[in-house]
Amino acid sequence: MIKSIIYVFLAISITFNLLGSVSLHRFPDVYTRLHGATKCTTFGTIFAVLAVIVHAIWQIKETGNPKYLQMALHSLVALIALLLTNPTGAHAIAKAAHLSGYKPARAVIDAYEKKLRGEEA
């Protein structure tokens, strides 16, 4: 029962992590690649951590070893650190790419470009 929960979480995690790395090759430019990379890998890592936490709680029940309590809490801290830093890093890359002059490919509208040119003129 608990094994199958762990398998399901691991399968979701692996699927979305692989999808994130494939999306780097499917999309045409920096911004669309950031979409795939940030969302999919964050989601995949959430489920990897959930699988580890379920496994650790199960091991606490089985063996009562406090090492598994540490394992669950530390992976939770790693997850919170990733959740806080990942979207901020993506935003920083997107802004830096735009300011250094990489235009979004196949864009139908670019309001940020208009704003930057309006300030320069």
Partner 1 sequence: MSFIVSFVWSFVLWLVLTAGTKGMLWSTEEVIAGIIFAAIVGLSTKNIIGEKAQRFLNPAKWLGFLVYAIGPLFWGMVKANFDVAYRVITGKIKPGIVRVPVDLENEAQYTILSNSITLTPGTLTVDACPEEKALYVHWIYVRDEEPKSSEPVAGSFEKWARRLGK
Partner 2 sequence: MIFTEFFYGAIVIALGAFITLIRVMLGPSVPDRVVGVDTLNTLIVAGMILLGAAYDRVIYIDIAIVYALLSYIGTLVIAKYLQGGLE
Is residue 115 close enough to count as binding partner 2 by CB under 8 A? no
Q: Which is nearer to partner 1, 3 or 102 (CB)?
A: 102
19: phi then psi, degrees, rounded to nearest 5: -60, -40
List CB contacts of 71: < 8 A, sequence separation 6 or more. Answer: 52, 56
Q: Which is nearer to partner 2, 14 or 107 (CB)?
A: 14
- The residue assigned the tokens 């790395």 is 21
Q: Is there a contact between 34 and 91 (Cβ–Cβ < 8 Å)?
A: no
Contact footprint for partner 2 (CB under 8 A): 3, 6-7, 10, 13-14, 17-18, 20-22, 24-25, 30, 33-34, 37-38, 41-42, 44-45, 48-49, 51-52, 55-56, 67, 70-71, 74-75, 77-78, 81-82, 85-86, 88-90, 92-93, 95-97, 99-100, 102
